[in-house]
């Protein structure tokens, strides 16, 4: 593989003697002596004589797909850095990205295919060969198709590498595939914005943060939630003097930087959004020209929000009416360069599509969709494809309710909890097998008790993963996937960047142990199942070449540089002369009033629905992220675990006093169903409302095989035994859990 050009001399083929000679010539006196000593240990793993190659690839420590350069010596990845050529992340890499080698070399990794020997849940396995494993899976899948139909197999994918297996599952004949990125994450947002603008936002979300004059964060905790380029843009905006409104029950990092912190009563965001609209419309602060040109339904909206005064909202949100007015006016002044951040994980209260609608409408009133400093528009890139036979149609349709029970759910991403329900109830038809690929169903889908019940009812459970997360204990067959640093994936095409780009994930080293890349697993299965027609390529390079064929770039250039960008047309003005309107709703206008929702029997304009209050003695459980962890995926990473081995529960000073709890004391959290968490330290702080407690997500893991992560901290997900499901799209409202801290009797 050719190395990149233009990198510092030591990274190329330079002998140690030459290198030290250079230093000796450059240095002088004591400085030279000290630097020689330092140079000996630099970089780690580099003994000074090997050739160091840099491989440009795509990170997968989260899903943002940043550009990474892997330094490789003697087949070992010794260091990861950001790829300066990457159009989105420009050489920057977050804590997790920098810690990627610790995933690659994690001694706890899944190493061999495993077949269950003990009871389901016991974690007793025997090592088998890949041949045995794939033959076993083939015979099981064939038998399931014959006996129950291929739809009886449900697929739970996540990430780029699962795409090959997704093709296999579609070719096999099951429409039942669902990712948590929809019903546990950004689904309501995509639905709400599509209802309004006719287009979803997508990922990475197209936010023009760096050009923004006012950033409105509604529960978005940028800084604790880190996506490299989004943080770069946020910080750039701050340094250019952008103002920030942070709406959050907790004093987040973003709140600490905000000009206005609005510690809202949880669950009342729609009331605040309606009052903001009331002020903007009432005080004539909207972008009227923009609305006249692009939107429809303004009159209905105007009439709708007339009663929603800041005083009305103040009583609901527990925010001062003056502050609501002041922040609305700030938006009116800064428009259109106002970025109402749409959030990402937004499945909170079960009416989340309506909150997303309210945010989309607010964005439209400010004229900031498609405008500088607001939300920009995607620029498509031509994408090549193989000519594949049609996938078999399933006469029974989907089991997860996408398009039926949940009329606006994405049929591409599916509804995970819909598949769990179908498995438990055998409605609309029985689900007999799960193939879980890169997802952690016990940590990502709430009501894990129900998920366990579903798994127990299965005839077959297969897990494809890199790490032995808790769910493998329930699997009949475990397949060890190669990490992102050891494999090719389907190329990543990002249209939601100001310069759209394609990037490659390619191996920096050979897969360790007997782990295999996802493309290989899917292709080998296709051969056994007689489904090769859907895999008309032999190598991942061949696949890559076909996908990028219409882009007029070469495979070699893409592999050398890691990512290649194309000119973007991010603003409405850029697309003004296009034949197709940038607004893609049925009416061709931004739909402030949604006839589509009305036809579904839902509110055509968003309305505040009161949320349930915590019972006496209980607190609402809210949760979020840490910059050093990605969900429940990184707690076993030695470098990241060292920075944050467990979580703590935030509790307000006054509530702590009421409960007689001191800072640092250990408690368990008990929910209203009596479910208890593992012990967790209390963080007593002024920085949270009295009516809620806060945990960072992803801790309290139940897999003994994860030696660093096992039983460290408390799992928020395990406490979510009640969820309110969004009737429009199936999203699980995950902020309706009430807990009380109980002093941990085992603490000393």
Partner 1 sequence: MARYAMVTDLRKCVACQACTVACNAEWDVPAGYARTRVRTTPITGTFPHLASSIYVAQCNQCDRPPCVEACPSGATSQHDNGIVGVDKSLCIGCGFCLEACPYDARYINPATKKVDKCDFCVSRLERGAEPACVITCTAHAKYFGDLEDRQSDVFKMVYAHGARRLETSTIRVGPNVYYAGEHASTDLVLAAFPPRPPRLLAAGQAWSRVLRPLVLAAAGATFLGQAVAFFNQLRNGEKDFED
Residues that bind partner 1 (CB under 8 A): 8-10, 22-23, 26-31, 33-35, 37-39, 41-45, 79-82, 91-99, 101, 222-224, 226, 228, 231-232, 234-236, 238-239, 251, 253-257, 261, 263, 627-628, 638-643, 652-653, 685-687, 689
- Taking the least distance from each CB to partner 1, the nearer of 43 and 430 is 43
Can you tell me the distance from the alpha carbon of 503 to that of 55, in angstroms, rounded to the nearest whole number? 13
Can you tell me the distance from the alpha carbon of 639 to that of 739, in angstroms, rounded to the nearest whole number? 32
Half-sphere exposure of 6 (CA within 13 A, CB side): 5
Provide the CA 716 distance to its chain's centre, in angstroms. 17
| 3-state secondary structure at position 399 | coil
- Closest CB 109 distance from partner 1, rounded Å: 17
Can you tell me the distance from the alpha carbon of 328 to that of 326, in angstroms, rounded to the nearest whole number? 5
- Cβ contact 693:621 at 8 Å: yes
- The single residue listed with the structure tokens 């929702």 is 597
- Taking the least distance from each CB to partner 1, the nearer of 307 and 686 is 686
- Closest CB 44 distance from partner 1, rounded Å: 4
- Burial classification of residue 312, based on how many CB atoms lie within 10 Å of its CB (0-12 exposed, 13-18 middle, 19 or more buried): middle
Altogether, the residues listed in the chain come to a count of 748
Task: Tell me phi and psi for residue 619, to 5 degrees.
Answer: -125, 150
- Closest CB 235 distance from partner 1, rounded Å: 4
- The single residue listed with the structure tokens 């706890």 is 108
**Nearest Cα to 224, choosing from 737, 595, 697?**
697
Can you tell me the distance from the alpha carbon of 605 to that of 625, in angstroms, rounded to the nearest whole number? 31
- Taking the least distance from each CB to partner 1, the nearer of 238 and 545 is 238
- Closest CB 232 distance from partner 1, rounded Å: 6
HEC per residue, 107-150? CCCCCCCEEECCCCCCCCEEECCHHHHHHHHHHHHHHHHHHHCH
- Taking the least distance from each CB to partner 1, the nearer of 280 and 339 is 339
- Closest CB 78 distance from partner 1, rounded Å: 9
- Taking the least distance from each CB to partner 1, the nearer of 118 and 645 is 645
- Closest CB 699 distance from partner 1, rounded Å: 17
Can you tell me the distance from the alpha carbon of 427 to that of 592, in angstroms, rounded to the nearest whole number? 36
- Closest CB 371 distance from partner 1, rounded Å: 24
- Taking the least distance from each CB to partner 1, the nearer of 98 and 152 is 98
566's tokens? 């194309």
- Closest CB 123 distance from partner 1, rounded Å: 26
- Closest CB 61 distance from partner 1, rounded Å: 10
Can you tell me the distance from the alpha carbon of 219 to that of 361, in angstroms, rounded to the nearest whole number? 18
- Number of other residues whose CB lies within 10 A of the CB of residue 393: 8
Can you tell me the distance from the alpha carbon of 351 to that of 606, in angstroms, rounded to the nearest whole number? 10
- Taking the least distance from each CB to partner 1, the nearer of 26 and 388 is 26
- Closest CB 366 distance from partner 1, rounded Å: 25
- Taking the least distance from each CB to partner 1, the nearer of 26 and 426 is 26
- Taking the least distance from each CB to partner 1, the nearer of 80 and 695 is 80
- Taking the least distance from each CB to partner 1, the nearer of 9 and 303 is 9
- Taking the least distance from each CB to partner 1, the nearer of 47 and 577 is 47
- Taking the least distance from each CB to partner 1, the nearer of 222 and 728 is 222
- Closest CB 268 distance from partner 1, rounded Å: 15
Residues 6+ apart with CB under 8 A from 497: 87, 88, 204, 206, 565, 568
Helix axes of 352-365 and 187-197: crossing angle, nearest 10 degrees: 40
Can you tell me the distance from the alpha carbon of 410 to that of 728, in angstroms, rounded to the nearest whole number? 11
**Nearest Cα to 684, choosing from 660, 668, 662, 669?**
662
Pairing of strands 680-685, 260-262: unpaired
- Taking the least distance from each CB to partner 1, the nearer of 97 and 418 is 97
- Taking the least distance from each CB to partner 1, the nearer of 110 and 264 is 264
Can you tell me the distance from the alpha carbon of 739 to that of 747, in angstroms, rounded to the nearest whole number? 19
Helices and strands counted in the chain (H then E): 25, 26
- Closest CB 233 distance from partner 1, rounded Å: 10
CA–CA distances in Å: residue 221 to residues 231, 236, 257, 341, 735 = 11, 16, 11, 10, 16
HEC per residue, 598-648? HHCCCCCCCCCCCCCCCCCCCEEEEEECCCCCCCCCCCCCHHHHHHCCCCE
Phi-psi region of 267 (alpha: psi -120 to 50; beta: other; left: phi over 0): left
- Taking the least distance from each CB to partner 1, the nearer of 212 and 717 is 212
- Closest CB 271 distance from partner 1, rounded Å: 18
Half-sphere exposure of 320 (CA within 13 A, CB side): 6
- Closest CB 497 distance from partner 1, rounded Å: 16
Element (H, E) at 338: strand 338-340
- Closest CB 244 distance from partner 1, rounded Å: 11
- Taking the least distance from each CB to partner 1, the nearer of 622 and 640 is 640
- Cβ contact 677:711 at 8 Å: no
- Closest CB 645 distance from partner 1, rounded Å: 9
**Nearest Cα to 529, choosing from 138, 14, 208, 149?**
138
**Nearest Cα to 318, choosing from 691, 740, 649, 622?**
691
Can you tell me the distance from the alpha carbon of 89 to that of 227, in angstroms, rounded to the nearest whole number? 9
Can you tell me the distance from the alpha carbon of 669 to that of 164, in angstroms, rounded to the nearest whole number? 41
- Taking the least distance from each CB to partner 1, the nearer of 74 and 542 is 74
- Closest CB 673 distance from partner 1, rounded Å: 30
- Burial classification of residue 721, based on how many CB atoms lie within 10 Å of its CB (0-12 exposed, 13-18 middle, 19 or more buried): middle
- DSSP secondary structure letter of residue 393: P
Can you tell me the distance from the alpha carbon of 271 to that of 384, in angstroms, rounded to the nearest whole number? 46
- Taking the least distance from each CB to partner 1, the nearer of 97 and 624 is 97
- Closest CB 17 distance from partner 1, rounded Å: 15
């Amino acid at each position: 593989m050719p190395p990149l050009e233009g990198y510092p001399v030591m990274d190329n083929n330079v002998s140690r003697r030459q290198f030290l000679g250079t230093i000796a010539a450059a240095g002088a006196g004591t400085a030279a002596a000290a630097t020689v000593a330092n140079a000996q240990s630099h970089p780690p793993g580099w003994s000074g004589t090997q050739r160091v190659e840099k491989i440009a690839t795509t990170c997968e420590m989260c899903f943002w797909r940043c550009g990474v350069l892997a330094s490789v010596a003697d087949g070992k990845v010794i260091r990861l850095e950001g790829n300066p050529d990457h159009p989105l992340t420009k050489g920057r890499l977050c804590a997790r990205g920098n810690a990627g080698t610790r995933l690659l070399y994690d001694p706890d990794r899944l190493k061999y295919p495993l077949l269950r020997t003990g009871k389901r849940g016991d974690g007793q396995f025997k090592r088998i060969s890949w041949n045995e494993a794939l033959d076993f899976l083939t015979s099981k899948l064939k038998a399931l198709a014959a006996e129950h139909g291929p739809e009886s197999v449900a697929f739970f994918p996540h990430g780029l590498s699962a795409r090959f297996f997704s093709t296999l599952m579609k070719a096999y004949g099951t429409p039942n595939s669902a990712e948590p990125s929809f019903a546990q994450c950004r689904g309501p947002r995509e639905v709400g914005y599509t209802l309004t603008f006719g287009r979803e936002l997508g990922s990475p979300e197209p936010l023009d943060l760096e050009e923004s004059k006012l950033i409105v964060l509604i529960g978005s905790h940028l800084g604790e939630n880190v996506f490299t380029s989004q943080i770069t843009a946020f910080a750039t905006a701050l340094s250019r003097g952008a103002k920030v409104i942070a709406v959050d029950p907790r004093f987040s990092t973003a709140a600490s930087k905000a000009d206005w912190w609005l510690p809202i009563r949880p669950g009342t965001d729609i009331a605040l959004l309606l009052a903001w609209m009331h002020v903007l419309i009432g005080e004539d602060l909207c972008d009227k020209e923009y609305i006249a040109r692009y939107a429809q339904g303004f009159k209905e909206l105007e009439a709708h929000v007339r009663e929603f005064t800041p005083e009305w909202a103040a009583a609901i949100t527990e925010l001062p009416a003056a502050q609501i007015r002041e922040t609305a006016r700030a938006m009116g002044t800064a428009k259109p360069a106002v970025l109402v951040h749409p959030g990402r994980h937004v499945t909170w209260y079960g009416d989340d599509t309506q909150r997303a609608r309210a945010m989309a409408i607010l964005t439209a009133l400010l004229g900031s969709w498609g405008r500088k400093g607001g939300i920009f528009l995607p620029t498509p890139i031509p994408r090549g494809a193989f000519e594949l036979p049609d996938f078999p149609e399933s006469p029974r349709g989907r089991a997860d309710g996408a398009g039926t029970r949940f009329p606006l759910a994405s049929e591409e991403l599916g509804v995970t909890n819909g598949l769990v329900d179908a498995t438990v109830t055998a409605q609309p038809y029985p689900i007999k097998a799960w193939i879980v690929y890169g997802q952690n169903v016990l940590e990502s889908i709430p009501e894990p008790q129900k998920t366990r019940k579903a798994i127990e009812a299965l005839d077959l459970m297969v897990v494809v993963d890199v790490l032995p997360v808790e769910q493998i204990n329930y699997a009949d067959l475990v397949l060890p996937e190669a990490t992102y640093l050891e494999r090719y994936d389907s190329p990543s095409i990002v249209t939601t960047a100001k310069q759209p780009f394609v990037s490659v994930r390619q191996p920096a080293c050979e897969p360790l142990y007997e782990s295999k890349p996802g493309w290989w697993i899917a292709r080998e299965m296709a051969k056994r199942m007689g489904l090769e027609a859907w895999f008309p390529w032999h190598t991942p390079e061949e696949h890559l070449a076909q996908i990028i064929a219409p882009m007029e770039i070469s495979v070699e250039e893409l592999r050398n540089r890691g990512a290649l960008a194309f000119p973007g047309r991010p603003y409405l003005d850029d697309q003004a002369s296009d034949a197709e309107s940038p607004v893609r709703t049925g009416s061709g206008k931004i739909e402030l009033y949604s006839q589509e929702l009305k036809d579904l029997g839902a509110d055509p304009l968003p309305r505040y629905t009161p949320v349930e209050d915590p019972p006496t003695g209980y607190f609402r459980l809210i949760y979020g992220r840490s910059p050093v962890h990605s969900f429940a995926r990184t707690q076993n990473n030695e470098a990241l675990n060292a920075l944050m081995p467990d979580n703590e529960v935030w509790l307000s000073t006054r509530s702590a006093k009421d409960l007689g709890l001191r800072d640092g004391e250990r408690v368990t959290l008990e929910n209203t169903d009596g479910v208890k968490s593992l012990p967790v330290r209390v963080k007593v702080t002024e920085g949270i409302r009295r009516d809620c407690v806060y945990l960072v997500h992803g801790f309290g893991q139940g897999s003994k095989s994860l030696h660093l992560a096992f039983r460290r901290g408390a799992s928020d997900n395990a406490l979510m035994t009640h969820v309110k499901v969004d009737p429009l799209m199936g999203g699980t409202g995950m902020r309706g859990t009430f807990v009380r801290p109980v002093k941990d009797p085992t603490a000393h």
